[in-house]
A and B are shown apart, each in its own frame.
Chain A
Amino acid sequence: MSVPTANEDGRQTGPDVPAATATPKAKMSKRQKAKLSRGIQYAILVVIAILIVIFADWPKLIDSFGRIDIATGMFPDVITMALKNTVVYTFLGFALGLVIALFVALMRLSSVGVYRWLATIYIEFFRGLPALVVFLVLGFGLPVAFDNFNLPQLVIIMIALGLVSSAYMAETIRAGIQAVPKGQIEAARSLGMSSSRAMFTIVLPQAMRIILPPLTNELILLAKDSSLAYILGSSVDGRELAALGRAEIVNTANLTPFIVIALCYLIITVPLSYLSRVLERKYGSADSGVK
């Protein structure tokens, strides 16, 4: 019995460990251990739930966060205006960001050194800057610096969100382009395509499949970043979710609007993360046909 064998619980090995069935000190079997471990995990959950139920001040909580009358009072504006504005800001910012990102990514891959440097500086700059700072500079800094700088709020929000997201997306797109096998470009060039035609008809469509899931994630982040638009202060019509939520909290002296706003963000982001997972399943596996 001195042959090194794994015990049934898979942990002890060595010459002096006898076979499991012969264990005198009744070590637990694998099955028993798993059972115990699961039992402990459930117990922890139950204890926490009980503690919350006991110690939470439910009437006060409901009064602060769950006032149905205040929640219903926010409709339909919270949907028809705030949610709509959040979606509009997000998509405008995303669209602009995507265009900038594509250019910056192509610059990063350019054979001209200056373009590569500029793109790198751009990416490092906007990736390192808090989105809040970008909003402040665009919303308050530039109008002070330049007298005639007077862009509509919507455009400022779009540019701010576009700048913030473009830096991340540029890196994603660059990585996607570089993930397309070099042989695809060589085949395209050998058929007489120019390098830019090869890029746009052969490389980018394939890169898109690779970068679609991470781009969807960026869209989610952007939906949340769009809440920073509230610091610009806006016309009543221009309020997105965060701005409306703050206004309602002030109006009602109650925190229920937070909950409503939070749910509205989830209405946007949960389907997007679902989409991201679907895209990942669809395209995430190694691209077929490329060897």
Chain B
Amino acid sequence: MHAATKAPIIAIRNLQKSFGTNQVLTDINLDVDKGEVVCVIGPSGSGKSTMLRCINTLETPTGGSIVVDGMDMTDLDLDIDAARTRIGMVFQSFNLFAHLTVRENLTIAQTKVLGRSKAEANKVAEANLAKVGLSEKMEAKPGSLSGGQQQRVAIARALSMDPDVMLFDEPTSALDPETVGDVLQVMRNLAEAGMTMVVVTHEMEFARQVADRVVFMDGGVVVEAGPAKDVIGNPAEQRTKDFLSRVLHPGQLG
């Protein structure tokens, strides 16, 4: 669907996912190039989060293939834990480790999974916490942070593994409105720094401004994909138009 001159860093081919008899994803095809920012939009229940979670196989695909950075994620012989260290993930509900400090949240996987020394892990953690603007919260417990701060720490935690790709699963949906801006700013900075990002989001403004490409999903299929100005600004499909009018002008829904 996307004319790629070089091999895409994420290549999703004919992805199927069903829970029992409930077919959630049907024949998803999606390529993401290195450094590209792809926003996935669509109504809830459209399968966009499931698609994202299939990329690092938090959900096991029932069919098709997903290749990330040359690793076939559906290959049962793949060292999935090693593969996941190269795919950062940010969750809607932050999922910071509640019993650990911010510092420990940022270093535990570095030392235990990547085998980095404590000193090195701390250095990486400090650099990434500074990147999200929360250096002063190094010793805080997650419970003492606001939702927006927790999400920024969660982004720093994922970045501390030096991933090639970052997946965001509705990162601002659980936030108070006034903290959404800080999180989006951090993501914007990341995009500008050239990170490859797949973002499932309801933030149309963010998608419009930051995404290289927007994918609209509905009913478990990709309905429409292309540059943000096309998909959001001038959608070709009726389903996209309906969704966007509901999201952009919610007052008219009644």
Contacts and interface: CB of A to CB of B under 8 A. Distances in A.
Interface string B122-165: 00000000000000000001111101001000100110010000
Contacts of A181: 93, 95
Interface residues of B, number: 35
B81 interface: yes
| Most B Cβ at <10 Å: residue of A189, A191, A201 | A191
Nearest to A185: B95
Interface in B159-179: 161, 174
Contact of A197 (B91, B112, B147): B112
Interface in B82-119: 82-85, 87-89, 91, 93-99, 108-109, 112-114
B98 A187 contact: no
A288 B158 CA distance: 21
Nearest to B53: A186
Main secondary structure of the interface of A (DSSP, over half): helix
Interface string B198-231: 0000000000000000000000000000000000
Interface string A184-209: 10111111111001000110011001
Range for the number of chain A residues in contact with chain B:
20 to 34
A206 B81 contact: no
B150 A183 contact: no
Given A192-B113, A193-B109, A187 B96 contact: yes
Nearest to A204: B99
Given A183-B93, A184-B95, A202-B97, A291 B147 contact: yes
A202 B58 CA distance: 17
Given A186-B91, A197-B112, A289-B150, A192 B97 contact: no
Interface in B47-66: 56, 58
Contacts of A193: 81, 109, 112-113
A241 B238 CA distance: 81
A290 interface: yes
26 contacts: A181-B95, A183-B93, A186-B95, A187-B95, A187-B154, A188-B97, A190-B89, A191-B84, A191-B113, A192-B84, A193-B81, A197-B112, A205-B99, A206-B99, A287-B143, A288-B98, A288-B143, A288-B144, A289-B98, A289-B141, A289-B142, A289-B144, A289-B145, A289-B150, A291-B150, A291-B174
Given A288-B144, A289-B96, 8 more contacts: A183-B91, A191-B158, A191-B161, A192-B83, A202-B97, A289-B141, A291-B93, A291-B94
